[in-house]
Structure 1
Amino acid sequence: MVIPARSTAHERNAAYLLEQRLEKIYGIQVDVVADNIKTAGNILSVGATVYADYDFTAKKTGSYAVTAFDGGVSIIGNGNRGLIDGVFRFLSEFCDYEVYTKDVIRYTEEKSLCVPKNTKIESTPFFEYRKVDTVSTGDAEYALANSLNSQIWFSNEEGGVIKYLSLFGHSLTNQFCKRDTYFASHPEYFALRDGKRVDKQLCLTNPDVLKIVTEEVLDLLKKSHDPTADLQIVSLTQDDNEEYCTCDNCRALDEKNGSHAGTMLTFVNAVADAVKVADPAYKNVAIDTFAYQYTRTCPTNVVPRDNVIIRLCSIECCFGHTIDDENCKENVLFLQDLNKWSKICDRVYIWDYINNYSETFLPFADFQVLQRNMQLFYENGAKGVYEEGNYYMDICNGEFYELRSYLLCKLMQNPYREDYEELMLDYLTQVYGPGGTYLKEFIDLVSSRSVTKTKHLHIRQQPADCLPGITATEIRKADKLWENAKNAAKTTQQLNEIKRSELCWQYWKCCRMKGEYSPLRGLYSYMKSHKELYDKIVALGNTAVGEGAIKYLRGNSFSIYFLPPTKWESKYDGKLWHKLDPFADWLYERLEELHG
């Protein structure tokens, strides 16, 4: 392996990453030498060596190339991440190195490394910012191998990260011009609602608020800014409520712009201007704000500065139809908003959602729209994508969250890849074993039944609205697919993964009183099936059924035996039926004795 004689720490680290993984795969240690030293044999060139013949002048930051030359292969990239991504692309293409989850990694069993002489791989990032939520995406190897560049912190030598120096979101009132600091003494800094100041949002036309926030942002940059990073972001974003200011000045500016984004963007632009002139080193700093709920509509009389990012949030969308589906009103409006923002802003990021936050164990059948939506984000000007998923998987893990994240990582790298279905099947068979083929059939089935022309998939969907098109015959088919998958498992790990994902199907059936959860099968069968499902959920390490403090699991006997899983949570603590727990336990014990 050859690196430049005057190599950077970044190039040395890339070579180290490649060397370590080649040793793991082939069991041999590869010598790393400078390019001014004569070597015998085939050359694996890493970085801007004398063997690298590639011009990145017109390429985006993060681009890379893997090319064969007479006597070797060259891996080269630009920006902090380009070379690292090139290394992992080389490993994937020629060593079959694939990181599916933080615990499942595959690589070739061949003893020789062969690269075709005509190899010429070139890649330019579709999105400059890439982030997905799950457990595995927080793992260093997974993040590097799957080209996530904002998930966890890496030094620039390790590939760098697009870092939010501030809070990731909802920073106004929580980090900048904090309510705890200013509301008691200066209520006029905060939103006027029904003639009264409230601490939910800021009054963005108050000049003192602008002065405070600007000073706090500049102070943050003095302490935390890294001029060598590719991009650093400070978020100036509304808190997570709709209590925007209605004072005369804010109302007038909003009315002038036809949107509450009028006050927000005018305010953010002023801070962005101050950042731009404060220090030339801040040229890699962008100020970020939301187009979210009441600020989602594009304003008509103000445009973002060139150092401002607009993060457009899809929270109101249907996630079972593509965003260009004309039969889906919510999605048509979202795509219109994306188009309008992209016309006035060169850096629109998407904040998308891939999870049911109310009933997280229910099937979230969105696999049929992921690729088309990613294509539409790109085609309509998005420069970054954040997929907010099940970030609380450590306490609520069922369904196919890791699969979804893996596919999205691949789609962020190339939304137009032609092997999407094969990619999904490959993941399922690697993680779940031979039974993965049956799980692919199940996913295809529920994906085809997740929505209708009038029924949609939302992020707080209730069981009654989930899988509206599914038939009794298909329910029986799905049951058989899960049984076949479990029977095909070769290892305990594979079987446990199948059982964990099966919770989504069992949870849905229990909520909808289908199959073994039907009361028509008799009282004992009804109670027994409910208890077994609750015990499975707990045995697999789950302590919650959704997002937030009200969604923690509670083991109240009456609820478990007689009520749907949506009532097995802390929201219902203290209800009258809990006084019936002793009776429920007694009844179940008698029925167990009776049924032997």
Structure 2
Amino acid sequence: MKVSYQSGPFCSPGLFLFCIRFSILLVLAQLQWSCRSETYLVQDGTSNYRIFIAEDAPEPEKQAAHELQQHLLKVSGALLPVTHEPHPQTIYVGFRGAPASLTAGLSPESFPNERYVLRSDGTSLLIAGGGSRGTMYGVIGYLADHIGCRWYTRDVHKIPNLTTIALNEFDEQQQPAFEYREAWYQEAYDTRWALFNRLNPSIVPIPDSLGGSYITYPFAHTFYSLVPPEKHFSSHSEYFAMVNGKRQREHAQLCLTNRAMRKEAVQTVFGWIKERPEVNVFSVDQNDGYGFCECPDCKAIDEREGGPSGSLIDFVNYVSDTVGKVYPDLKIQTFAYAYTEAPPKHLKPNPNVTIRLCRYGYCSAHGIDQCEHSKPFRERYEAWKKIARRISVWDYFTDFAQYLMPYPNFASVTRNVKWYAEKGAVGLFAQGNNVPKNGGGEFSALRSWVFAQLMWNPNQNGDALIREFVTNVYGDAAPYVQRYIDMMHADVQADSAHFSIWAQPIELNYLRPEMINKADSLFRLALNAASGDSALQERIKLAALPIDYTQLYFYAIGGNAYLKPERMPAVLARFESVIKKHGISAMGDIPETYGNIGAFLQRVRTTPAFVSDWQVTGPFDNTDKKGLARVFAPETSAMSAEQLFKDKTGSSVKWQPYSGQTSAYVDFTKLFSNPDFSVAYAYHNYRSSESRKATFGVGSNDGVRVWINGRLMLDRPVSRKAEPNQDVFTVTLNGGDNHILVKVDQLERGWGFYFGEMK
């Protein structure tokens, strides 16, 4: 440092001496600062630091010390010894044995489970937390927030290469926004992934040696576990719900006011408590489905309280009161779901009762705070909040019947978690596409990671988290994957674009052929960008699986605009290769039915040559539901484009042309303005080069009749949802023209048919 001063007639001797002394002090301070050495945990790949863990530390803290050691080794190449002896340069893992200089002002016994502190005085570092998981989460927090480690998927981790790690002074504390955090994806149940992303799942819990989980027992729908009908129904049918005047043995609920049943239920809970001391909350909640009790006593409470949540809360309060006398700290949980979603008017849950509120059947396209379709749920949440001390949320983030379908619901993924945290929810179960056996549903690894980050800290930017995941998991191909995500989600932002958790591909406007074709092109570009990296290419093929599935789905129902016959074998082979490689054994919530991949592949392989161009007319009357058998004019006259008929309203109608490109399904509900309880006809002239036998497949919603050349070949009065080839028949065709007439009735909701020649 250069110091200058000036003397002369304007400088007194005293001032002169002051300037000299001040300058000397400045020089000494500068020298001291420049000579001070910065503290490093690791410098140039070596370290003098040790990791201290008390000899009597619990197993999860010992594991935390081991994880810290191994990750620092991976990051820097330096192996820090784990010791039980204090050292001048030490990382203290856990409060036990940590020096007072690092724990000053802290009250370790007041730290709740999962809360942790990171504190450095510039020489030593303290990583410690409360309960069984706090210290482990502190290690993970240090590695993530200070070192930059990330655990994106089971196979893709970000471990920085840092040969030098500085130790600065800092003091911070963290704890999760929710005490219970679970994401229902196979990917999220990998133990180490769940641990490092700080979830505490109940269904597949983290081992106690690593800190354990938040355990709910039984997990859900427990009425028949409390009072099993196979044990009690024959001798005590009065324990079970009365529906339409009759006690129900199955697919229903309990009689919640029956005193003897209540005592039996309480004894079951006492048994659970003794058997499962590790449980955080015991479930006393309704079975799935409906069938609530209509007996006079239950009905009286429900009428007074405005709905069946009345008798439910009355029963749950009884259980919690009785059990609470013996176990005052015990927590009971019950559903607010389906018929109990609305809270009672007067009753309030006991303080030790958690309400598990289910957001079932609302719009999935938009965030809960964005969409008017979610307004009833928002109002019910607020109503429960006024009377319940604790609310945990069960929300749905997938299409149950279509795990492998594109499902652009990231707005609900990123916004709902924050809304629940702001409203004070104590837990969140995010039900996603838990694809057996190894996962692989549409972006399920991405959703798992984003949920984990937001459940811990919902104030993070959800869109930024998505982009971070895409960038790090898809590497050189990330720009194309991100463009695909942005494209799909931009298409569902309009207020008119709503879809729910049971949507079918044919109902979704964002699955237009042009969108799927653009998506297919983007994934081809992504694969090209990943050339030479086989692992990255496999990740891209898995991400593209929903596009392959969509192309095959529409191909199987006659959607040539999605996939031409000549391209189908290549797409089918790619689809089968990916599901085999990733062990994907189901594509929906119930593998035996709509989730059956084998049945889907069989439909693709046996897709008929659909007829998609017709002449249609109607609607005719089916008010008495006998219209399928009744003879209307189109059955009695030869096809003529100019012929007029009287429809169900008395208006004149004639044959009109119809042609489908996205599907061979002839949807009468879109063709006729007054479809309820109607019948309609479709005509096609089917040409054959020669006389031959042909087999046709028909699917209908609802009943169907088919005539070939005036001969009735199929008469199927039925109520069902249309699928290709539900009925099959064989007929001898003429060489040349063959007149096909199809008649379909409508009983309620859907109305239409498929028709094609079997291969």
Structure-2 change in CA distance of 1:161 and 1:545 (3 Å): closer
| Change beyond 3 A, Cα 1:565–1:397 | farther
User: Could you tell me which residue of structure 1 aligns to residue 256 of structure 2?
Assistant: 204
SS of residue in 2 equivalent to 1:341: helix
Which residue in 2 is equivalent to 1:591? Answer: none
Closer/same/farther in 2, CA of residues 137 and 519 from structure 1, 3 Å limit = closer
Does the residue aligned with 1:358 lie in a helix, a strand or coil? coil
Q: Distance in 1 between matches of 2:487 and 2:506?
A: 18
For the pair 1:125 / 2:176, whether they are aligned, the reply is: yes
- The answer to which of 540-549 and 529-538 deviates more is 529-538
The DSSP-based 3-state class of the residue aligned with 2:409 is: coil
* Corresponding letter in the other structure for 1:455: A
- Cα gap change, 1:380/1:488 in structure 2, threshold over 3 Å: closer, same or farther? same
- Match of residue 375 from structure 1: 418
* Post-superposition offset of 1:264: 0.9
Are 1:421 and 2:472 an aligned pair? no
- The corresponding residue for 2:338 is 293
- Contact map agreement 2:481 2:526 (CA 8 A) in 1: yes
Matched to 1:496, the amino acid is E
User: In the alignment, which residue of structure 1 is the partner of 2:141?
Assistant: 89
Whether 2:312 is the aligned partner of 1:271: answer: no
The residue matched to 2:242 in structure 1 has which SS?
strand
Equivalent residue number for residue 507 of structure 1: 549
1:75 corresponds to which of 119, 127, 142: 127
- The CA distance in 1 between the partners of 2:434 and 2:201, in whole Å, is 15
2:400 corresponds to 1:350: no
CA distance in 1 between partners of 2:597 and 2:517 (Å): 29
**Could you tell me which residue of structure 1 aligns to residue 746 of structure 2?**
none
Check whether the contact 2:354–2:390 (CA below 8 A) recurs between aligned residues: yes
Is the 2:436–2:586 contact (alpha carbons within 8 Å) kept by the matching residues of 1? no
Distance verdict in 2 for CA 1:411–1:306, change over 3 Å: same
Alpha carbons of structure 1 residues 113 and 187: separation in structure 2 relative to 1, 3 Å = same
Equivalent pair of 1:99/1:141 in contact (CA under 8 Å): no
Contact 2:186 2:439 in 1 (8 A): no
Given candidates 535, 549, 568, the residue that maps to 2:576 is 535
Q: CA deviation at 1:71?
A: 0.6
| Secondary structure at the counterpart of residue 357 of structure 1 | coil
TM-superposition CA deviations, 1:395-439 (whole Å, max 9, x none): 763420110111010000111114x33322232233233112211
Q: Is the 8 A contact 2:243 2:291 kept in 1?
A: yes
Q: Which residue of 2 aligns with 1:478?
A: 519
2:292 maps to which of 237, 240, 244: 244
Q: Deviations over 1:206-237 (max 9, x none)?
A: 001110010010011112214xxxx6111111
Which residue matches 1:593? none
**1:328 corresponds to which residue?**
372
On the 8 A contact 2:397/2:412 being kept in 1, the answer is: no
Alignment match, 1:13? 63
1:52-71 equivalences in 2 (<5 Å): 52-56=103-107, 60-71=112-123
Distance between the aligned counterparts of 2:568 and 2:273, measured in 1? Answer: 59
Structure-2 residue corresponding to 1:191: 241
Residues 1:408 and 2:451 aligned together: yes
CA contact (8 A) 2:552 2:604 kept: no
SS of the residue aligned with 1:339? helix
Letter in 2 for 1:553: I
Check whether the contact 1:342–1:382 (CA below 8 A) recurs between aligned residues: no
The one of 90, 94, 99 equivalent to 1:43 is 90
> Quick check: 1:313–1:350 contact (8 Å CA) kept in 2?
yes
Report SS of the residue matched to 2:81. coil
Contact 2:182 2:201 in 1 (8 A): yes
Q: Secondary structure at the match of 2:410?
A: coil
Structure 2 counterparts to residues 151-166 of structure 1, below 5 A: 151=202, 152-154=204-206, 156=208, 158-164=210-216, 166=217
Structure 1 residues 557 and 14: alpha-carbon distance in aligned structure 2, compared to 1, 3 A threshold: closer
- 1:341 Cα deviation from its structure 2 partner: 1.1
Deviation string for 1:317-354 (max 9, x for gaps)? 111111122x522x101111111112211210110111
SS at match of 1:45: strand
The one-letter amino acid of 2:392's match is: Y
For 2:264 and 2:574, locate their aligned partners in 1 and report how far apart those are by CA, in whole Å. 53
Q: Name the CA distance, whole Å, in 2 between partners of 1:414 and 1:338.
A: 21
Kept after mapping to 2: 8 A contact 1:238/1:290: yes
Partners of 1:269 and 1:160 in 2: CA distance: 29
Alignment partner of 1:437 out of 452, 456, 479: 479
Partner residue, 2:271: 219
Match of residue 341 from structure 1: 384
Higher share of residues assigned strand: 2
**Does structure 2 conserve the Cα–Cα contact (< 8 Å) formed by 1:451 and 1:469?**
no
Aligned partner of residue 122 in structure 1, secondary structure: strand
Distance 1:255 1:104, change over 3 A: same
Q: Kindly tell me: are residues 301 and 31 of structure 1, through their superposed partners in 2, closer, same or farther at Cα, counting changes over 3 Å?
A: same
Separation (CA, whole Å) in 1 of partners of 2:313 and 2:435? 32
> Contact conserved, 1:432 with 1:498, CA < 8 A, in 2?
yes
CA distance in 2, matches of 1:533, 1:103: 22
Conserved in 2, the CA contact under 8 Å of 1:134 and 1:393?
Answer: no
Structure 1: which amino acid aligns with 2:156? V
| Aligned AA (2:361) | E
Asked if the contact 2:270–2:323 (Cα under 8 Å) also holds between the matched residues in 1, the reply is yes
**Which structure has the highest helix share of the two?**
1
Query: Cα deviations across residues 130-150 of structure 1 (Å, max 9, x unaligned)?
Result: 001222221221111111112
Shift of residue 6 of structure 1?
5.5
Task: After TM superposition, list the pairs within 5 Å mapping 1:310-321 onto structure 2.
Answer: 310-321=355-366
**Offset at 1:481?**
1.7
Bigger drift between 24-33 and 380-389 goes to 24-33
How big is the shift at 1:168?
0.5
The alignment partner of 2:248 has SS state of: strand
Shift of 1:536: 4.5
Q: Which moved more, 1:66-75 or 1:252-261?
A: 66-75
- Matched residue type, 2:173: E
When residues 219 and 520 of structure 1 are mapped into structure 2, their CA distance, relative to the original with a 3 A threshold, is: closer
The answer to whether the aligner puts 1:180 opposite 2:230 as a matched pair is yes
Q: C-alpha distance in 2, partners of 1:345/1:176?
A: 23
Of 282, 290, 293, 1:234 maps to 282
CA apart distance, 1:156: 4.8
How far 1:565 moved relative to its partner? 13
Equivalent positions of 1:485-496 (< 5 A) are: 485-489=526-530, 490-496=532-538
With over 3 angstroms needed to count, the CA separation of the structure-2 counterparts of 1:562 and 1:379, relative to structure 1, is same
Q: What is the rounded CA distance, in whole Å, between the counterparts of 1:216 and 1:74 in structure 2?
A: 45
Which residue does 1:592 correspond to in 2? none
Contact 2:541 2:578 in 1 (8 A): no
Deviation, 1:464, is: 2.2
* Shift in CA distance, 93/272, structure 1 to aligned 2, threshold 3 Å: same
Q: Which moved more, 1:188-197 or 1:99-108?
A: 99-108
Alpha-carbon distance in 1 for matches of 2:468, 2:269: 46
- The residue aligned with 1:583 is none
RMSD of equivalent CA atoms: 3.1
What is the rounded CA distance, in whole Å, between the counterparts of 2:323 and 2:306 in structure 1? 27
Check if 1:547 corresponds to 2:589: yes
Give the residue type in structure 2 aligned to 1:137: A
Change (3 A) 1:544 1:161: closer
Q: How far apart in 2 are the matches of 1:578 and 1:522?
A: 27
Pick aligned residue for 2:488 from 446, 452, 457: 446
Alignment partner for residue 302 of structure 1, among 331, 334, 347?
347
Separation (CA, whole Å) in 2 of partners of 1:430 and 1:11: 30
1:336-382 per-residue CA deviation (whole Å, 9 max, x = no partner) reads: 11111122112101101111111111111111232221111111221
Contact 1:3–1:46 (CA under 8 A) maintained in structure 2: yes
Shifted more, 73-82 versus 14-23: the winner is 14-23
The residue type equivalent to 1:408 in the other structure is F
1:108 to 160, 163, 167: 160
- Find the residue that maps to 2:325 and give its secondary structure: helix
